[in-house]
Amino acid sequence: MDSLETGDQLIIVNRSTEHRISKKLICKILYFEKMLNLDLKESKENKVVLDFDEKAFKSIFNWIKLGFIFIEMDCVINMSIMADYFGISDRLMNNFISYFHENFSIEHLPVIIPQVTSTSKLINSGALYAFICRYFLKIVNTPVWLNYPPETIGRICGLDLMIHSEYQVFDAIMRWVKAKADYRKHFLKILLSLIRWCHLEDEDLAKIKENSFFKFSNFEIELCSRNKPNCNCGIDRTKQGCFVVIEELSDKKLQVKVLDGNFFPLVNQLIQNDPSLPLHLPHEEHVSDIFFDSGKEIIRIDWKHNKYRYMDYKSHYQKVHNCIYKSSRRGEYYAVTTKPELELFCRDVNFVCPQLSLLEANEKFILVLDDFWRFRCWETPSMANFNDSKYNVDSYLATVLDNYIYIVTEKGKFIEINIECKIALKIEFQRLQNKFKFSNLFLTSKQMNDDRVIFVDKTTNDVVCFNVSTREWKSIGRIIDCESKSADGREEYKTLKTFTFGFVSTDSINLCLERDLNEMPLI
């Protein structure tokens, strides 16, 4: 007799598709065993109605019948949602987790974005969008960006992206449209509506209006005032680049201060070391990864739980590289001479260990190697490029501003390297050299849309800048800590660990401010 006529079949209707399976098999899943053993409507009618992604359902359904499963990125999140809902074995869920994190890359965003929710397993929408926002400027500088469908472009450009200018969103959209202009120009109007026009600088707005492709699109810009109720542009996405000051306390706690681009204080948090903080990329929503010490160190800060963990910058970059760039090809480098060959005797090549720095620029990463009488630079380096130096010593400090790398050497040279022209220029440094010791200096900058290279003395907390436009030096001010005592009244010993630039999401800043407000004592 056909087993379908025995009554030992459970009919499962998932959305509009009907499936049949042996009750004996399906009862291996505790969810269905309990359902069929209780006096419920489903057990009486031998029918269950579900609402899951059909491809994910078929994969789980076949796993129950055949005992194996084929995992693909386009439905692994949906499968994990089902596995969690039905309470299926941890072993299967662990396989989903390992597969996802080993294979995730920006190529998969078009199939991952539709699957995620605020509570989805493997990765939730908060973590995924935090990753996209943090690395948007790197993502749009890859060929993958040009191949995304319009739905993905629209979803990404509507997020609270970490950018230096709204013009960068305009430029990313135009690059995507021009790649297949005949077809994609029809999406231009709706995509340009995602630009937050009221947060554009006047010069950027003028540049957009002069764009030839934009002129012929007949798109009318509807500007609004951010101070008026009718403004629906959302947060100013360009304000998420911040200066981060980290002070080290005697018990491994850190005092972290966040200042905006004009040094206005935003956050002052005490955070504790947690070696168990996950190193995943993408990371959780209220987490920031901050490069410091001229790109030789990186710290992960969990603003929600007030925790931190130092990370190895090479292994972290490998994760970034795998997610965004994927290629393992050894990158090309260019060399910039910084001193005549006659000065080579200033260094003993038998004793000097070259230094590597991984600098984050606007739309790329730059690996810099101090190669005796020259600097070698790789743009968007592969992991193989890190093998050019096995040792590190503090022979220079480095930062990136617009299309220039600025370097201060231990010998007191201040060098400006033009990234596009690949030439070096020495800057007069005598005044600052006499005032500050190299070992006491921090060097940083805002990456772009600024004219300041910033020097900080870790002993005096004095802040000085070199204006790249006027070529003049200027004292900015001094960092003063007004809370010098601990909770028990004792003097709190603090060491300035770094003064650097990094991205901190507006959501994370608001979270810290709201928590401080709630903890503020009533007067």
Beta bridge partners of 401: 404, 447
Reported confidence tier of residue 365, pLDDT bands at 50, 70, 90: very high
Q: Between 486 and 360, where is the model more confident?
A: 360
Q: Is 212 helix (H, G, I), strand (E, B) or coil?
A: helix
The torsion angles phi and psi of 439, rounded to 5 degrees, stand at: -70, -15
Q: What does 429-498 look like in DSSP terms, one character per residue?
A: -HHHHHHS-GGGEEEE--BSS--EEEEEETTT-EEEEEETTTTEEEEEEE---S--B-TTSPBPPEEEEE
Q: Considering the domain 3-158 in this protein, what is its CATH number?
A: 3.30.710.10
Residue type (1 letter), 165: S
Q: What is the pLDDT of residue 222?
A: 64
Rounded to the nearest 10 degrees, how much is the dihedral formed by the CA atoms of 504, 505, 511, 513? 60
Reported confidence tier of residue 344, pLDDT bands at 50, 70, 90: very low
Q: Where are the domains of the chain?
A: 3-158, 238-314+494-519
Q: Between 156 and 84, where is the model more confident?
A: 156
Integer Cα distance of 153 and 144 in angstroms: 11
Integer Cα distance of 145 and 174 in angstroms: 11
Percent of the chain whose pLDDT exceeds 70 = 85
Average pLDDT over residues 213-230: 64
Condensed to tens digits (0 to 9), the pLDDT of residues 411-446 reads: 888 999 999 888 888 888 776 767 788 889 999 999
Integer Cα distance of 110 and 117 in angstroms: 14
Among 145-159, 201-215, 420-434, the range with the most confident prediction by mean pLDDT is: 145-159
Condensed to tens digits (0 to 9), the pLDDT of residues 241-297 reads: 999 999 999 888 999 999 998 999 999 999 999 999 999 889 989 999 999 999 999
